[in-house]
A and B are shown apart, each in its own frame.
Chain A
Amino acid sequence: MLKREYIIGELDTIVGKVPQVSTTWSNTDVWSTIKVRWSIGRMNYKVKQGLYAVGNPDKSSSIFVTANYKLSFDHIRLALKGIDAWMLVLDTKGINVWCAAGKGTFGTKELSYRIKAHGLEKLVDHKKVIVPQLGAVGVAAHEVKSKTGFTVMYGPVLAEDIKAYISSGYKVTAEMRKVRFTLMDRVKLIPVELSYGKYYLLLVPAVFFILAGLNPHGYSIDLAWENGSLSIIYLLVAYFSGCVLTPLFLPWIPFRSFSLKGLFTGWLTAGIIFYFLSRSTNIIEIISWFLMMGSISSFLSMNFTGTSTYTSLSGVQKEMKISLPAQIIAAGIGFITWIILRFL
């Protein structure tokens, strides 16, 4: 269990004691953010659902709704620095607003329940809650209104726009509404992508390393070392191409479909490797590696549709219908060819 260093006090209110949160980062916060980005021990990133106070809010203060995922919670409390406000934290099982809204845990039901359970109509006199716009996927504003009498106002997509939103008299500009997918956003996602392979990242290279020792006369450890290490380099390059290069250079890589983008980066890196590093390699072997590296990079890039913020399900289904079988077949042919080459 995390120590709750972000709680700095308690406020006596008409609806009972409400914990008061800090609006600054502690070292523990910084460390836990790093860990969560790399998905280490991620279950610890829940905060307790319920009502919190920022500063010294009163009856006229705004209520900001968020999820009980620690990073969502942190973003809001840090953005509210210097402001007196309430925070209503929904129980989303420790999942961020966007995901939880998609699943419905950040939704009409939980929001209406908490508005009532925490006696918000006694706590404030304005009957409004501010929900992050991305929560709209799970919240039907008109239903919350009819269930609780509270009006849902959709706030900006990014917590960092909250100050501007408040000072403009709670107006969301078209700019604040838009979900972007900037280079920085994508850089932050790379650790998540890299950790995708998990144990396959050890298993697959190990298999290649072992198989690389096969030859017409039996087995040779020297060959395993020689060809095996090269194979591992090729595999890691393909992995890097799909998990790092495609996300990073996404807008500049030709093609719209993610699998084609991945094929492009995969072949580009394979081309560079074989041109500079392994020129003397047998042409059939090079082709088998192009098939495998292209497929790996393409598959991993396709996986990035999960974290991208603009891909539709219909689109992903359409591209996968062709690309998934193509990846499997190409990787299969590449692999079998590579095995056969061991015995020639």
Chain B
Amino acid sequence: MDTLVYLKNVVTLQLDQQKCSGCKMCINVCPHEVFGFKDKKAFIAIKDHCMECGACKINCPEGAINVKTGVGCAAGVINGLLKGTEPSCDCSSKGNCC
């Protein structure tokens, strides 16, 4: 059980290869080996492994990556539903949150 995979075909990750300068930053920060590298450009290799953490998006100097980020956690989604806001977890009250 090396990699656990969550639901298929739901992830919002997008990469605009036109903008990519090949700096490999996205590869450095991704915790799930989502990106590959070919012809001096990054590409999305295994999209379903993405957890939408957004590390690649904010660290891409060219703004080539887009992903809808947020806490992938049920309590956060419920929290958001109750308050009518975006999903958010209340980290201060939980020892080891999302």
Contact = CB atoms under 8 A, between A and B. Distances in A.
Interface of A: 36-39, 42, 93, 95-96, 99-100, 102-103, 133-134, 136-142, 154, 157, 172, 174, 177-181, 189, 192, 195, 250-252, 256-258, 302-303, 305-320, 324
B29 A136 contact: yes
A73 to B, nearest CB: 15
Contact of A179 (B7, B32, B54, B78): B32
Interface in B15-32: 25, 28-32
A142 B61 contact: yes
A133 B28 CA distance: 8
Contact of A256 (B5, B72, B74, B75): B5
Contact of A39 (B70, B77, B95): B95
A39 B94 CA distance: 7
A195 B95 CA distance: 10
Interface in B47-98: 49-55, 58-59, 61, 68-78, 87, 89, 91-92, 94-98
Contact of B58 (A96, A140, A192): A140
B44 interface: no
B95 A95 contact: no
Given A136-B55, A314-B10, A303 B75 contact: yes
B91 A314 contact: no
Given A172-B28, A257-B7, A305-B74, A96 B96 contact: yes
Contact of A309 (B31, B68, B69): B31
A103 B25 CA distance: 21
A95 B6 contact: no
A317 B77 contact: yes
Given A306-B72, A307-B97, A320-B77, 20 more contacts: A42-B95, A95-B92, A99-B91, A102-B98, A133-B29, A136-B29, A142-B25, A172-B28, A178-B32, A178-B33, A302-B74, A305-B74, A306-B73, A306-B97, A310-B32, A312-B6, A312-B7, A312-B10, A312-B72, A318-B7
A314 B96 contact: no
Contacts of A138: 58
Interface residues of B, number: 48
Contacts of A310: 3-6, 32, 49, 51
A257 B68 CA distance: 20
Given A310-B51, A313-B72, A179 B8 contact: no
Contacts of B7: 256-257, 312, 315, 318-319
Contacts of A96: 96
A316 B73 contact: yes
Contacts of A303: 73-75
Contacts of A320: 74, 77-78
A306 B58 CA distance: 22
Given A177-B28, A192-B96, A312-B72, A103 B11 contact: no
Nearest to A251: B1
Contacts of B69: 137, 313
A141 B25 CA distance: 9
**Chain A to chain B: the 4 pairs with minimum beta-carbon distance, closest first:** A306-B73, A136-B29, A179-B31, A313-B70
A280 to B, nearest CB: 37
B46 to A, nearest CB: 12
B12 interface: yes
A154 B95 contact: no
